[in-house]
């Protein structure tokens, strides 16, 4: 089982709390894809429209009336903004969820922060219309579709110094998703 699957499906935290924490991370990092995906999941696990709206704020305050839920949101926010929780925040989180819950909150914040950075780095942090190209590994070069894994039909563009580039060159695709339009040349290996 992957870390992501364990965090989502084997968590000891209530589903509402897990999704709220992920949405706090999404707001902090400005991650459109995480927000889109986890607002939908949040609705399924019972987050209200008012709660979802409050969680869009990078500084969520008093989102929940339930003290246990609010303690998790407060801890996530403090971890994101300070890299730590103050003693009162830690004590409240520990009182409601125990040390295992404190560990899970910190792990959720770290894992989804990592995902937000990766989505941004690979220019994949978009809502549904664009996400399928990156998530499925498909690129349309105007003639056909190519699978990313093992297709052997992609290459990295080279800048003047010979380094790989796609950022800053007008191309917003991740390196491995740039289609090779010259079918006679093999893909360049990184």
Cα–Cα distance measured from residue 77 to residue 95, given in angstroms and rounded to the nearest whole number: 18
Task: Quote the pLDDT of residue 129.
Answer: 57
Instruction: For 115, list phi and psi in degrees, rounded to 5.
Output: -60, -40
Task: Check whether residue 43 and residue 124 sit in a common domain.
Answer: yes
Task: Check whether residue 56 and residue 78 sit in a common domain.
Answer: yes
Task: Check whether residue 94 and residue 161 sit in a common domain.
Answer: no
Task: Check whether residue 124 and residue 165 sit in a common domain.
Answer: no
**How many distinct structural domains can be found in the chain?**
2
Task: Check whether residue 124 and residue 143 sit in a common domain.
Answer: no
Task: Check whether residue 80 and residue 33 sit in a common domain.
Answer: yes
Task: Quote the pLDDT of residue 43.
Answer: 97
Residue 83 clears pLDDT 70, i.e. is over it: yes
Among 97, 87, 88, residue whose Cα is nearest residue 21: 97
Q: What would the mean pLDDT of 3-27 be, rounded to a whole number?
A: 91
Cα–Cα distance measured from residue 146 to residue 152, given in angstroms and rounded to the nearest whole number: 9
Enter the tokens of residue 49.
């429209």
Cα–Cα distance measured from residue 164 to residue 155, given in angstroms and rounded to the nearest whole number: 9
Task: Check whether residue 102 and residue 18 sit in a common domain.
Answer: yes
Task: Check whether residue 65 and residue 102 sit in a common domain.
Answer: yes
Q: What would the mean pLDDT of 68-91 be, rounded to a whole number?
A: 97
Task: Check whether residue 63 and residue 89 sit in a common domain.
Answer: yes
Contact (Cβ atoms closer than 8 angstroms) between residue 74 and residue 92: yes
Cα–Cα distance measured from residue 32 to residue 158, given in angstroms and rounded to the nearest whole number: 30
Cα–Cα distance measured from residue 109 to residue 79, given in angstroms and rounded to the nearest whole number: 7
Cα–Cα distance measured from residue 120 to residue 50, given in angstroms and rounded to the nearest whole number: 27
112 contact partners, CB below 8 Å, separation of at least 6: 21, 22, 25, 26, 34
Cα–Cα distance measured from residue 102 to residue 72, given in angstroms and rounded to the nearest whole number: 8
Alpha carbon 105 to its chain centroid, in Å, reads 15
Task: Quote the pLDDT of residue 127.
Answer: 63
Residue 29 — very low, low, confident or very high, per pLDDT cuts 50/70/90?
A: very high
pTM above 0.75, yes or no: no
Helices (H), the chain: 3-9, 15-29, 32-44, 49-55, 67-82, 87-121, 128-136
* Of the residues 104, 128, 152, the one at which a domain ends: 128
Residue 148 — very low, low, confident or very high, per pLDDT cuts 50/70/90?
A: very low
**Domain of residue 105, residue span:** 3-128
Instruction: For 138, list phi and psi in degrees, rounded to 5.
Output: -100, 145
């Amino acid at each position: 089982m992957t870390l992501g699957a364990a965090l989502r499906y084997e968590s000891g935290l209530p589903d509402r709390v897990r999704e709220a924490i992920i949405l706090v991370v999404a707001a902090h990092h400005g991650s459109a894809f995480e927000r889109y995906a986890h607002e939908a999941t949040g609705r399924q696990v019972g987050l209200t429209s008012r709660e979802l709206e409050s969680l869009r704020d990078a500084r969520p305050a008093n989102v929940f009336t339930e003290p246990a839920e609010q303690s998790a949101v407060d801890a996530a926010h403090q971890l994101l903004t300070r890299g730590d929780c103050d003693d009162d925040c830690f004590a409240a989180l520990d009182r409601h969820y125990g040390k295992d819950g404190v560990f899970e909150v910190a792990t959720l914040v770290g894992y989804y922060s990592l995902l937000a950075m990766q989505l941004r780095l690979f220019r994949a942090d978009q809502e549904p219309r664009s996400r399928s190209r990156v998530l499925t590994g498909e690129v349309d070069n105007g003639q056909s579709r190519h699978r990313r894994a093992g297709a052997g039909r992609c290459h990295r563009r080279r800048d003047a110094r010979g380094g790989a580039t796609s950022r800053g060159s007008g191309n917003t695709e991740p390196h491995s998703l740039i289609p090779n339009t010259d079918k006679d040349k093999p893909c360049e290996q990184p």
